[in-house]
Amino acid sequence: MRDLPAPFSERMKRLLGNEFDAFIDSFSEPPVRGIRINTLKITKERFTALCPWRTEQAETLEEGLVLLDEAEHIGLHPYHAAGLFYVQEPSAMSVIAAADVAPGMRVLDLCAAPGGKSGGLAARLNGEGLLVSNEIVKKRAVQLARNLERLGVVNSIVSCAHPDAIAGALGGYFDRVIVDAPCSGEGMFRKDETAIDEWSPEHIAACAVRQSAILDSAANCVIQGGKLIYSTCTFSEEENERTVEAFIKRHPEFELEFAHRLYPHRLKGEGHFVARLVKRGDPASPAIAPAKSKPCAKRCTKSEEVLALEFLEPVFGFQAVEAVRGKLMTMNGRAYYLPFAAPDAALSLPIVSLGVEVGEFAGNRFKPSHSLFMAAHSFKSKFALELGLNSPELAAYLRGETVICPDIAQMKGYCPVTIDGFPIGFAKIVDGVAKNHLPKGLTVNRIC
């Protein structure tokens, strides 16, 4: 690894004292990698039984594991395509634990891309309540939505809005607001040397200004009795303790519950800062202001709902139809399943993704979506095309090719394609041939 900037080393020596040498020595070690088990789809016990890599328990999160193997191209493994895990640096998982999320809560992840923390928060919600995951950059918001889709999250809205817009639309609405703020990235030095090139005292000062502005917007989103979680992957006091102290001076209604630092010489991870603040006051029902613009989604018409339900019944059965009935909305010609109550103010934001995309209306036809089948942990299908983990049929499917299997001669119609019982996509079976419906952007030419 390249030499660290001298001003950075001087700062850290003042901060760490006799721990400084151990901190510097940690930079000669390889970066630590981890995975977070997606408990929306699989239990920790079953995942550890299936896991092809050596791991140990992460210190930061119960469902987190530290990878002990190199695990090259881990993102190409079929279990990753199935959404059974998310590759996440172990110290970053501490934010999920600090959020203390429970099913039924209303949660806002204000700077959410690429989606690791949102996925962990969604797993803690376990399909109940509402998660709004926001990313101001549209391209990153699209990637965020794709990651939540892979993880099978059903109760989320992915928005692409300025924090001020969310504060204006949903003031005092959320039980938890998470701000994993853009920062100078000192905790990235070990795994990304470009962070060293970008480091400067001026960059730190600019980040602190931006972080303060985001926190001011976030403060308006927290309900009385709710909590605000602030985190960075940097070590500078200006972006961490001083930013929190200045925030409390501007917002005396907030009280600091705790703040802690994670260092790479103290645990297996790259380093993080996490603070949790509570908004004083007795918990109260949120008072949502009327939407300032027309909601982007609307309830399905009766004929649209009938068309969607007529597709769902032969694939997923009557129980799924009854679960979905009355909870379908349309946006841009597509049907979405919303198992949560969303105020019009939330639906008036710039929306990238909404609940579960069930499919697309095409005249009198209904075309199902990949998202529907990735959420099949909620909707159990009548039958599935199970492919072996190391089979040529699985490799062909992930390349986007048609699959021919002798044992599907009696199957007909749409069904999920699964590995070890977990969906990785879907196909339409016609005359013993499985026509591939894996989105082109998800195909891979090799698997790990």
Angle CA 36–426–370, to nearest 5: 65
Contact status, residue 219 vs residue 226, Cβ threshold 8 Å:
no
233 catalytically annotated = yes
Phi-psi region of 278 (alpha: psi -120 to 50; beta: other; left: phi over 0): beta
Q: Would you say how long the chain is, in residues?
A: 448
Of the residues 111, 233, 300, 415, only one is catalytic, namely 233
Please name the helix (run of DSSP H) or strand (run of DSSP E) that holds residue 12, with its range, or none: helix 6-16
Contacts of 21 (CB under 8 A, 6+ apart): none
User: Are the CB atoms for 213 and 19 separated by under 8 Å?
Assistant: no
Q: What is the DSSP string of 135-164?
A: -SSHHHHHHHHHHHHHHT--SEEEE---HH
Tell which residue, 176, 178, 177, 175, has the closest CA to residue 284: 175
| Half-sphere exposure (Cβ direction) of 249: Cα atoms closer than 13 Å | 7
Q: Is 401 helix (H, G, I), strand (E, B) or coil?
A: coil
**Spatial CB neighbours of 334, under 8 Å, sequence gap ≥ 6:** 357, 358, 359, 360, 361, 369
Q: Are 292 and 232 in contact (CB under 8 A)?
A: no
Q: CA angle, 423 as apex, 82 and 339 as ends, to 5°?
A: 95
d(CA 77, CA 87): 11
DSSP string, 249-260: HH-TTEEEEEEE
Q: Which two tokens stand for residue 221?
A: 């989103």
How far apart are the C-alpha atoms of 333 and 318, rounded to whole Å? 25
- State how far the Cα of 373 lies from the Cα of 357, in Å rounded to an integer: 10
Provide the terminal-to-terminal Cα distance of the chain, rounded to the nearest Å. Answer: 28
As annotated, the active-site residues are: 233
